[in-house]
Structure 1
Amino acid sequence: MSGEHRAGGEDGHAVTIVGLGYVGLPLAVCFAAAGVRTLGVDTDGDARAAAAAGRPSFFEPGLHDELRALPPGALTFAGGLPDTPSAAVVICVGTPFDLASCQPDLRQLEAAVAAVAAHIGPQTLVVVRSTVPVGTCRDKVLSVLRTVVDEPLLAFCPERTIQGRALAEIRSLPQVVGALDERSRERARALFDRIAPDQVHVSSLEAAELVKLACNAHTDLIYGFGNELATLAEHLRLDANEVIRAANVRYPRPDLARPGFVGGSCLTKDPYLLVHSGEAVGYRPPMVAAARKVNENVPVRAAQRVLGALAVRQTPVEECKVFVCGVAYKSRPATDDVRGAASEVIARELGAQVGLLVAHDFLVPAERTASIGFKPVDLEEGLRDSDALILLTDHPGYADLTPQLLRAAMRPDPVVFDMWGVLADRLSDAEGVDYLRLGRG
């Protein structure tokens, strides 16, 4: 089992992972499980203690079991880097984007790089795995490393996994590798060969940085067109889902994406990092920016439609109870991550408008649900005497909500907004329910 590490007086670790969140801890476990002596570093003592006890502070399928199955000493934890340099250090800290200033917030990365630079040797490979604007590794990381090492070893090896399948995808997805020079490239290849032998090597740090941003911005863009059609269909009083299904049947072109909320920490951030990278060299990518705005408007429009439906009811909107199902940003694969979730927007848009805003999620802890602005409840309490139900995720557990149950538990003629059409087959034509679906006019 893993334990707390004390720096000094020990042989150097083969790899040190800096940042033990959704990206760093699964990576650390994969290295340790592959027989690579691994140190996990995080300034959050609670996160370290939870990981050391085999109880990660977030949900990721299989992570708990793999942590507990590691042999003693395979993965240890510390609040800082060891005095003895590791063979490799992988930086996995957060790089949020500040929408107010339209600037990336690289303070965590800069702090991590400064800490790493103080604990490396000439043969230490430094790998940046955090998502960054193009040019960051050369402009902000390399310059710091060169203050302590004349010829640093530096690579950018982006994370491209999906939450809910992180462990499997670390081991199966092609690992993109961009490096400062051939020495760095060979060291990065050898390091990741232990867990990700399928690798794609690109010509530079910058090319690898752009690969990561391009992947997520492209995903955001194709989903954005589905949501553009959804809004258009609502105005035309058509069903976008019907249109998209028909368009895709046996048609030898790329499929149209179904409408739905596009969230999470990556898809809500990386398009902005890509736009920022373009603006830094005099070009603003218009399609990327437009798709992000379309996708950001999805939960806002959902809130507006619910408020509009409540406004024509007998109960004043300010006295209505609204029940939200699905606080995490997605449920397939399942996660407890609320970063970039539609629930945050719903709480902001409805919190001051309605009488009571309650929410349920199968994985998100009650305290995290409350911090967003909801009263945490179970399904029974949430439905009881609610005026509106908002289904934000397509968790299979919500498919059990029948028209009979809703009519019995909720107030008469309840409003139901269904982001993903979970209940479409049951509620589309159900009497006594005002059923609203994204993309259905």
Structure 2
Amino acid sequence: MYQRIGVVGLGYVGVTLAAALAAKGYEVHGVDTQPQVRESLRAGRVHVFEPGIEEVFAAHVGRSLLIEEELPSDLDAVVLCVSTPVDETTRRGRLEHLAAAAEAVARRCRPETLVVVRSTVPVGVSRRVVLPPLARAWGQVRLVMAPERTIQGQALRELVDLPQVVGGLDAASLEAGLAFFGGLARELVPVSSLEAAELVKLANNCHTDLIYSFGNELALVAENHQLDPLEVIRAANLNYPRPDLSKPGYVGGGCLSKDPYLMVESAGQRTPLLVNAARQLNEDLPVHVAENVVELIRQTCPRLAGARLAVLGWAYKGWPPTDDMRGTPIATMMPIFRAAGLEVVGHDPMVSGDVIRRYGGEPTSLDKAFGEADAVLVLTDHPDYRSLPVGALLAGTSVKVLFDSWRVLDEGEVRAAGIRYAGIGYRIPKADTTAVTA
């Protein structure tokens, strides 16, 4: 029944879905408005990192996976995966890309085409923004909302293994949506409406943001009492039959840094207290850490201005590995480092040197990062950093302080080298000055 599928928007969500559908045997027509994206994908160069996706493109692009500027007219289903960013001033979702995509589908496709909203949106947007142009053009519409809930680095597997939530405009739409996704996902979860499916996605991501924020809140309380937050969390979780506490750490990415604002928008006149507070705390953490790093350098180095800081990990997370810079903590930290006069060099196993330069750092190797820096800041828990022989790397270096955000390095080896060690939740006494300040 469903064989020819259109995917509108070939960012992370769209390109992984297109690959997964092609791997399942569908004929996929991927559409994107950016010429450079189309050109790259046609050549088999995928612009996002995702394990296995380049192999899928190598096997299918130009054959059952076609990259096009416009949708063909005779499609069985079209999936809208366009971006819905949050306006930096109003903190409300920008829906112009979704509205334009809906207009294009109404213009190019036929009433029998199943239309799937996969973009994350405030509750009510599928009905309010996507439905009207389709209804005007076609009269009868088959429309579903089927949120994407994968994690970067596991998307191709999770598109098959995760339960797929589907909400329909009506019973016929829901039946069609379940039939379509039944060819991809192993388990389907029908819900009663478009709006219920929209809220499922926001609920998942806001809950994740909230869980992580509690770990960060706990770390800040522990810091105030000079306690190790990881010791407290390990003891609290060990063999305790209640939900585990999360380790402290940065919370970014394209979803968790955006979706709480879409939840707030969905709440109308009632501002969600928990969602707002959790997002604010998670956004404040990189500022707090950057200020602590500057203070540590002030205390341990002969001078602050001109001191060299090596930052390891520029993507928003290290595990699963990604090159995604959306919501990366370094974007918030760099203005603080620049104001302090620090010279910042950077390394990331996944992020290119050009991107590091774009964010204000100078690319460097791991050996040089440790060998030529006054201080080292580890921002992600990438596996390459977990396995570092940190004692050997620090031997004979000029490094005075190492801030290990995710506590992935051997603290004992760092301290044995005579280097000051700190992490999220470590108190940095302002009076502990052992060097001349800038």
TM-score by length of 1: 0.93
Q: Secondary structure, in 3 states, of the residue corresponding to 1:346? A: helix
CA separation of 1:327 and 1:320: change in aligned 2, threshold 3 A: same
> In structure 2, what is the Cα distance between the partners aligned to 1:21 and 1:314?
43
Q: Are 1:156 and 2:145 counterparts?
A: yes
Matched with 1:389 is 376
The partner residue of 2:174 within 185, 192, 200 is: 185
Matched with 2:336 is 349
Q: Where do 5+ consecutive residues of structure 1 fail to align?
A: 1-11
> In structure 1, what is the Cα distance between the partners aligned to 2:9 and 2:61?
22
Q: 1:262: Cα distance to partner?
A: 1.1
Matched with 2:352 is 365
Q: Are 1:94 and 2:83 counterparts?
A: yes
Matched with 1:211 is 200
> In structure 2, what is the Cα distance between the partners aligned to 1:339 and 1:274?
19
Deviation per residue, 1:302-325 (Å, 9 max, x gap): 101011112224432221111110
The partner residue of 2:274 within 273, 277, 287 is: 287
> In structure 2, what is the Cα distance between the partners aligned to 1:79 and 1:431?
58
Letter aligned with residue 58 of structure 1: V
> In structure 1, what is the Cα distance between the partners aligned to 2:414 and 2:189?
47
Q: Please tell me whether the aligned partners of residues 44 and 61 of structure 2 are also in contact (alpha carbons under 8 angstroms).
A: no
Q: 1:392: Cα distance to partner?
A: 0.5
The partner residue of 1:176 within 165, 172, 181 is: 165
Equivalent residues in 2 for 1:67-86, closer than 5 Å: 67-70=57-60, 73-82=63-72, 84-86=73-75
> In structure 2, what is the Cα distance between the partners aligned to 1:328 and 1:401?
22
Aligned residues: CA RMSD: 1.7
Deviation per residue, 1:196-249 (Å, 9 max, x gap): 131000000000000000000001101110100001111111111000000111
Q: 1:179: Cα distance to partner?
A: 0.8
Q: Please tell me whether the aligned partners of residues 390 and 410 of structure 2 are also in contact (alpha carbons under 8 angstroms).
A: no
Equivalent residues in 2 for 1:32-431, closer than 5 Å: 32-70=22-60, 73-82=63-72, 84-278=73-267, 280=268, 282-398=269-385, 399-411=387-399, 414-427=400-413, 429-431=415-417
Matched with 2:430 is none
> In structure 1, what is the Cα distance between the partners aligned to 2:233 and 2:250?
16
Q: 1:427: Cα distance to partner?
A: 4.5
Q: Please tell me whether the aligned partners of residues 390 and 414 of structure 2 are also in contact (alpha carbons under 8 angstroms).
A: no
Q: Please tell me whether the aligned partners of residues 427 and 435 of structure 1 are also in contact (alpha carbons under 8 angstroms).
A: no
Q: Please tell me whether the aligned partners of residues 33 and 74 of structure 1 are also in contact (alpha carbons under 8 angstroms).
A: no
Deviates more, 1:341-350 or 1:291-300: 341-350
**Identity rate, percent:** 45
Letter aligned with residue 405 of structure 2: M
Q: Please tell me whether the aligned partners of residues 129 and 156 of structure 1 are also in contact (alpha carbons under 8 angstroms).
A: yes
Letter aligned with residue 388 of structure 2: D
Letter aligned with residue 398 of structure 2: M
Letter aligned with residue 406 of structure 1: L
> In structure 2, what is the Cα distance between the partners aligned to 1:194 and 1:363?
33
Q: Please tell me whether the aligned partners of residues 156 and 209 of structure 1 are also in contact (alpha carbons under 8 angstroms).
A: yes
Q: Are 1:20 and 2:30 counterparts?
A: no
> In structure 1, what is the Cα distance between the partners aligned to 2:83 and 2:412?
42
Letter aligned with residue 244 of structure 1: I
Letter aligned with residue 81 of structure 1: L
Q: Please tell me whether the aligned partners of residues 216 and 282 of structure 2 are also in contact (alpha carbons under 8 angstroms).
A: yes
Letter aligned with residue 434 of structure 1: R
Letter aligned with residue 17 of structure 2: L
Q: 1:431: Cα distance to partner?
A: 4.5
Q: 1:71: Cα distance to partner?
A: 7.7
Q: Across the two proteins, how many residue pairs are aligned to each other?
A: 425
> In structure 2, what is the Cα distance between the partners aligned to 1:344 and 1:111?
30
Q: Secondary structure, in 3 states, of the residue corresponding to 1:265? A: helix
Letter aligned with residue 262 of structure 2: L
> In structure 2, what is the Cα distance between the partners aligned to 1:378 and 1:337?
20
Q: Secondary structure, in 3 states, of the residue corresponding to 1:23? A: helix
Letter aligned with residue 335 of structure 1: T
Deviation per residue, 1:38-69 (Å, 9 max, x gap): 10001122222222222211210000112212
> In structure 2, what is the Cα distance between the partners aligned to 1:239 and 1:367?
37
Q: Secondary structure, in 3 states, of the residue corresponding to 2:345? A: strand
Letter aligned with residue 325 of structure 1: L
Q: Please tell me whether the aligned partners of residues 220 and 267 of structure 1 are also in contact (alpha carbons under 8 angstroms).
A: yes
> In structure 2, what is the Cα distance between the partners aligned to 1:317 and 1:277?
46
Q: Where do 5+ consecutive residues of structure 2 fail to align?
A: 428-438
Q: Secondary structure, in 3 states, of the residue corresponding to 2:394? A: helix
Q: Secondary structure, in 3 states, of the residue corresponding to 1:218? A: helix
